[in-house]
Amino acid sequence: MKLSCGSGLGRESSVLAHIAAKAAPTVACAWLLALALLAGCASEARLPSTHHQLGIHPARTASADGLQAMTDRHSGVRLWVAPQPALTEADVQTAELAVTPDGQPAVVLTLTDDGRAVLAELTRSYLGRPLAILVDGEVRLAPIVDEPVSDGRVALTGFDTLEEAEALVRDWSR
């Protein structure tokens, strides 16, 4: 069969048109399959997400409707935690690595202006009660609020390793 270009293709063009019409669904399916395989390869090649979630939640030391029972992993204290955080990692302006007086790693968070206002109001209304600080859904700290926090800074302690604290600083730094 001869392939011609231009006008006057005659019988050859009608044969090619017939073959193209018959092959179109097969070619389209082949393209879709190739794209699906490429998309699958691309998603497998991605590294797992290392985004760490922060939540500062109102909490209580006694059961209450609508609150979720959780245990502080370091102290073993049982708390009832509000399901929705008052503050999240989106409210973090900066995260810095620090060391406690006893040489343990800490992460010091400075909140955004909006986060600072929320924290100030939250700590004013929660005097004498705990706030649950969750990292990746686990209670890391549950400090009792003894005074309002108006400077928008929060120190997280209780890390198992320096690397764990460094990972949070990398993740939450902007």
Boundaries of every domain in the chain: 1-46, 54-172
**Arithmetic mean of pLDDT, 48-68:** 87
Least confident of 9-13, 54-58, 120-124, 128-132: 9-13
Helix (H/G/I), strand (E/B), else coil: 111: strand
CATH of domain 54-172: 3.30.1360.200
pTM of the full structure: 0.67
Where is pLDDT greater, at 82 or 35?
A: 82
Strand partners, 34: none
H helices present in 1-94, as ranges: 10-45
Cα 87 to Cα 111: distance, rounded to the nearest angstrom = 9
Q: Give pLDDT, residue 49.
A: 43
Confidence of residue 125 (pLDDT cuts 50, 70, 90): very high
Query: Going by C-beta distance under 8 Å and a sequence separation of 6 or more, which residues neighbour residue 53?
Result: 88, 89, 134, 135, 136, 137
